[in-house]
C-alpha cells in the first residue's frame, strides 16, 4: 500500500500538536531550565552540613516559580516536594535532623525521584 507524503505529514503534525496540548510540561521545563544551576539540584534531598537554609530557599523559589505550569500528572509529587522544601527553608539550620528525616521519608523521596526523572527525561531529554 502506497501512502501519500501529505497524509504522513498531517498525521505527524496532529500527533506533535496533541503532545504539546496534553500537559507535556513545556512551560514547566522552560521555567526550570532558565535557572539550570538551581534546577540541577532542585529535586535532590538537602544534606545538612552540605546545604543551608539559603540553598533550600533558592530551590523553593525556583519550584514556586514553576508552580502554575506543573503538568497535571506531577501535581501530587510537586506539592509533596514543595512542602518538603518549605520545611527545609524554615528549619534546615535550626533542626537539620528533622529535615533529614522528612527528606528520607518514602513519600518525599518518591516525589523527588519522580520530579527529577521528569526534569532529566523531559526537560533535558
Give 53-98 pLDDT, tens digit per residue. Answer: 999 999 999 999 999 999 999 999 999 999 999 999 999 999 999 9
Give the mean model confidence (pLDDT) for residues 9-28.
47
Pick from 86, 45, 94, 47: nearest CA to 63: 86
Beta-ladder partners of 48: 51
Note the pTM of the prediction, 2 decimals: 0.80
Residue 17 has pLDDT above 90, yes or no: no
| pLDDT recorded at residue 23 | 46
Residue 125: helix, strand or coil by DSSP? coil
User: 52 in helix, strand or coil?
Assistant: coil
25: pLDDT confidence band, cut at 50, 70 and 90?
confident
Burial class (CB in 10 A: 0-12, 13-18, 19+), 29: buried
For 98-109, write each residue's pLDDT tens digit.
Answer: 999 999 999 999
C-alpha 76/C-alpha 16 separation (Å) is 26
Distance between CA atoms of residues 2 and 24, nearest Å: 33
Confidence band, pLDDT 50/70/90 cuts, at residue 8: very low
Amino acid at each position: 500500500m502506497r501512502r501519500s507524503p501529505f497524509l504522513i505529514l498531517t498525521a505527524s503534525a496532529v500527533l506533535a500538536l496533541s503532545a504539546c496540548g496534553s500537559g507535556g510540561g513545556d512551560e514547566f521545563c522552560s521555567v526550570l531550565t532558565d535557572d539550570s544551576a538551581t534546577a540541577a539540584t532542585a529535586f535532590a534531598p538537602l544534606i545538612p552540613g552540605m546545604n543551608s537554609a539559603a540553598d533550600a530557599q533558592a530551590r523553593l523559589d525556583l519550584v514556586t516559580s514553576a508552580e502554575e505550569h506543573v503538568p497535571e500528572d506531577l501535581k501530587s509529587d510537586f506539592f509533596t516536594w514543595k512542602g518538603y522544601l518549605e520545611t527545609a527553608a524554615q528549619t534546615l539550620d535550626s533542626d537539620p535532623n528533622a529535615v533529614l528525616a522528612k527528606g528520607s521519608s518514602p513519600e518525599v523521596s518518591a516525589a523527588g525521584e519522580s520530579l527529577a526523572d521528569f526534569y532529566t527525561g523531559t526537560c533535558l531529554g
